[in-house]
Structures are given as structure tokens and as C-alpha cells.
Amino acid sequence: MGNDAVMTGDDGAPHRRGKALVIGAGPAGLMAADALLAAGHAVTLAEAKPSAGRKLLMAGKSGLNLTKAEPPEAFCSAYGPEAPQLRPMLAAFGPDAVQAWAEGLGQPVFTGSSGRVFPTAMKASPLLRAWLARLGAAGLDLRTRWRWEGGLDGGIRFATPEGPRTLHPDATVLALGGASWPRLGSDGAWVPWLRSAGVAVTPLAPSNAGLSIAWSAHMAPHYGKPVKPVGLSAGDISGRGECAISAPGLEGSGIYRLSRAVRAGAPVSMDLLPDLDVAAAARRLAAGPPKATTAALLRRMLRLDPTRAALAQEFGRPLPRAPMALAARLKALPVPHRGLRPLDEAISTAGGVAWPALDDDLMLRARPGIYAAGEMLDWDAPTGGYLLTACLATGLWAGRAAARRLSHG
């Protein structure tokens, strides 16, 4: 790498055909490579694992939620405090563009009742196959089992099956992912490497993660059971959500979306009666037989199934007898927890390359010509298609910016 050929662009103006390197073949890296190839540059995509897109394939196992069909402002607000930084990228490649992109790869999509968008095939493999085929036809040089070993000075060094290799690209896009599910490739090993290159990195932390709970022995029969219906809240996040009991604690999308607030230390509470207000629940309790036990009242007057009744006892003991007080307790049960489940179990990673370390093109201020994209950037969002959309959007943004640099110097 390093020898540029002079070519003529579509506009007739001369531009350089540069040599680009993308590291990491997840959705962000593939999108960056796509943008660079589309601009006419030569692209090497280096991937540590034996194949591309392993986390994308895993994401497709439970139904690949590509994006969410939502108006731009509502969609953007899901990214919380990082929404302003991501807004231009999501404006350039938001939910509509994601759907058109998938369809362009021969994968029709459908929108579920919640607005979540999935490929009709539900899984990721046909999409990934079609994408890799298109990139291959455009000339992508994909090198698997090429692991970047850190270091940006004097070339970019890889451990490869053929021994060490050093590349000297004209522009590089890092798309190394976060650190959740490290066996799929993204292990966060890059954090100290970038820090030592002068790049600020916000500590990585679990997001979209379960809650660790030290259950009493009474809860063992309920492991694996859904808690339904239920409302969950922490800090300024609240609403109905899916949740299930597991041996280590609570999981499910309703729990995952509390991650940001839990990381900030907000207490978690659970509403076992999301369809009733306190007064209505109290009226039902007061109408019960005066001598009925509390357990019988929960079952007969409030129709709590055994799992929710067990949670009422687990988190609410001693349950008050007075109807108003009992109703209020059931609608706001404190959930004593031991924090989020560890990063390697989390769906995604919060933290990453800090925004002040990046310019508007997602180029590292400390290292001109090196860009970063995807989950390795410091943003966070709930599940629901927001994660993949931001990875694709930032990958495209960084890839296009790198392409401009190669074309025009």
C-alpha cells in the first residue's frame, strides 16, 4: 500500500485512487468498505476472525431487527445524550435508507406492530452473503484471520496465518466493535492501543444487559418464566416491557433498556399491575373476603399468576395488609440488584472512542487519516434496531469521509 494511481473521476476531474484499509468486518466495517469501493478506491478489509460478520449473524438468531420505522426525531432521541453527535449520520442513513439498503441486497423487509423492521428471512445470513458477494464483485480484498495488534506508527501491523504483515494505507477506518460477546471477535483489546496513541476512550461498560439479582431459594421454580404483564422503570426510563426470570437475575428487552439509568445508579422498580392504577387495584383488594390471606387476595382479586405473586413476596416482603398500601407496593416494587450482568453477556457496549477525540468526519483528531465507526464509538441505545442502524450510518459516514480524503488529499 502507499502507491497511489492517478485516475479521472466521474466529474472528469483527476482524483487519486487511494489504498484504504478497514479493520473489522462487522456491519460498520463492511459499510465503510462499501463506501470506499463505491468511490473507486482499493480496499483491504482485515478481520481477526476466520469469517466476516459473526456478531451480525448472532444478532439474526433471534430475528434480525434492522431498524425501527419511526419519524427522524423520535428515532434520534433513542440515542439519549449522544443523539446530537449522531444526528447528521442518521439523517444521511436512517431507517428508510436501512430498509432500502436491505432490499437492494435482495432482502425484502417487513415492519412489525411495534415499528421494528426485520428482513422477511428474519436471519442475517442471506443478507450478509449477498453483501459480501457484492463487495467481492466490487473488488474487496477481504483478509480473514488478520488481527491488528495495535500500534499506528510505522505502519499498521497484523498477525496473520502467514506471519506478521505491516500495511501502509493512505486512509484507515477502524470498525472494531465494542466488547460484548467477545468470542464473536469484538473484544475491546483496542482500548489501550488507542489510548496510547493519544485518543480519549470512555471506559467500556455493558449496555442492553440483564440485572444480577441474588434470589432467595423460593424463586428457583420460576427460573425461565416470563413476568407478564409488567412495567419497569429506572431514572427517567419507564414503561411496559418484556422481562423474564433467570438464575442470575432478570433479563429481556424491558430490563435491557434500563441499562443507561442503572449504570448511572438509579434504583429499579417493577410494576406488577401495569393495567391498573393504585386506586383501582386498592378497590379490588378491598372487595376481597376480609379473612383471605394476602396470597389469596393477590391471586383472586388481582389475578396475579404464580410468578408475579412470587416476585411480590420476594421484593415486597413484608407486604402491607391495607389495600391502598398493598396496591402502592405492588405498583412500585423496589428491585434490589447487584448491577448489570457483565459486559461479555451484554447485547451491546456503552462507552468507546470519545466524541471530542473525533472530528465531524469521524476522523481521529490525534491521527489524521484514521477514522472510527460503529459500536466502538461512545454512544448507546436500546435494542429495537437502533444499534445496527447507528453502526451502518457511522460506517458509511467514516467510509465516505475517508474516500473524500483519498480522492482530494
Q: Which residue shows C-alpha cell 478497514?
A: 22
Rounded-to-integer distance, Cα 101 and Cα 396, Å: 12
CB atoms within 10 A of CB 88: 11
Task: State which residue, 93 or 181, has the beta carbon closest to ligand FAD.
Answer: 181
Task: State which residue, 103 or 275, has the beta carbon closest to ligand FAD.
Answer: 103
**Residue 47 engages ligand FAD in binding (rule: CB under 6 A):** yes
Least separation in angstroms between CB 174 and ligand FAD: 9
**Residue 65 engages ligand FAD in binding (rule: CB under 6 A):** yes
The identity of residue 217, as a single letter, is A
Q: Which of 1, 58, 122, 286 binds ligand FAD (CB under 6 A)?
A: 58
**Residue 252 engages ligand FAD in binding (rule: CB under 6 A):** no
Rounded-to-integer distance, Cα 228 and Cα 218, Å: 19
**Residue 42 engages ligand FAD in binding (rule: CB under 6 A):** no
Task: State which residue, 58 or 121, has the beta carbon closest to ligand FAD.
Answer: 58
The three grid cell numbers given for residue 153, joined into one nine-digit string: 506508527
The three grid cell numbers given for residue 297, joined into one nine-digit string: 387476595
Task: State which residue, 25 or 330, has the beta carbon closest to ligand FAD.
Answer: 25
The three grid cell numbers given for residue 303, joined into one nine-digit string: 389475578
Q: Which residues between 151 and 190 bind ligand FAD (CB under 6 A)?
A: 175-177, 180-181, 185-186, 189
Task: State which residue, 272 or 358, has the beta carbon closest to ligand FAD.
Answer: 358
Cα torsion at 237, 395, 187, 158 (round to 10°)?
-170
Task: State which residue, 185 or 249, has the beta carbon closest to ligand FAD.
Answer: 185
Stated as kind and residue range, the H or E segment containing 405 is helix 386-408
**Residue 374 engages ligand FAD in binding (rule: CB under 6 A):** yes
Task: State which residue, 180 or 307, has the beta carbon closest to ligand FAD.
Answer: 180
Q: Which of 18, 24, 254, 351 binds ligand FAD (CB under 6 A)?
A: 24
Task: State which residue, 170 or 251, has the beta carbon closest to ligand FAD.
Answer: 251
Task: State which residue, 188 or 323, has the beta carbon closest to ligand FAD.
Answer: 188
Distances (CA, A) of 286 to 197, 302, 327: 66, 11, 10
Q: Which of 301, 353, 358, 391 binds ligand FAD (CB under 6 A)?
A: 391
CB atoms within 10 A of CB 159: 14
Q: Which of 148, 256, 315, 379 binds ligand FAD (CB under 6 A)?
A: 148
**Residue 375 engages ligand FAD in binding (rule: CB under 6 A):** yes
- Asked if 180 contacts 343 with a C-beta cutoff of 8 angstroms, the reply is yes
Three-class secondary structure of residue 130 per DSSP: helix
Contacts of 392 (CB under 8 A, 6+ apart): 27, 28, 31, 93, 98, 101
DSSP string, 266-289: PPEEEES-TTS-HHHHHHHHHTS-
The three grid cell numbers given for residue 44, joined into one nine-digit string: 483491504
**Residue 45 engages ligand FAD in binding (rule: CB under 6 A):** no
Stated as kind and residue range, the H or E segment containing 309 is helix 306-316
- Asked if 372 contacts 398 with a C-beta cutoff of 8 angstroms, the reply is yes
Cross-strand pairs, 240? 231
What string marks each residue from 288 to 317 as x (binds ligand FAD by CB under 6 A) or -? ------------------------------
Least separation in angstroms between CB 289 and ligand FAD: 48
The identity of residue 114, as a single letter, is S
- Asked if 135 contacts 143 with a C-beta cutoff of 8 angstroms, the reply is no
**Residue 29 engages ligand FAD in binding (rule: CB under 6 A):** yes
Least separation in angstroms between CB 158 and ligand FAD: 7
What string marks each residue from 342 to 371 as x (binds ligand FAD by CB under 6 A) or -? -----xx-----------------------
Please work out the total of residues on this chain that contact ligand FAD, with binding judged by CB under 6 A.
36
Interacting residues toward ligand FAD by CB under 6 A: 23-29, 46-49, 54-56, 58-59, 64-65, 147-148, 175-177, 180-181, 185-186, 189, 347-348, 374-375, 385, 387-388, 391
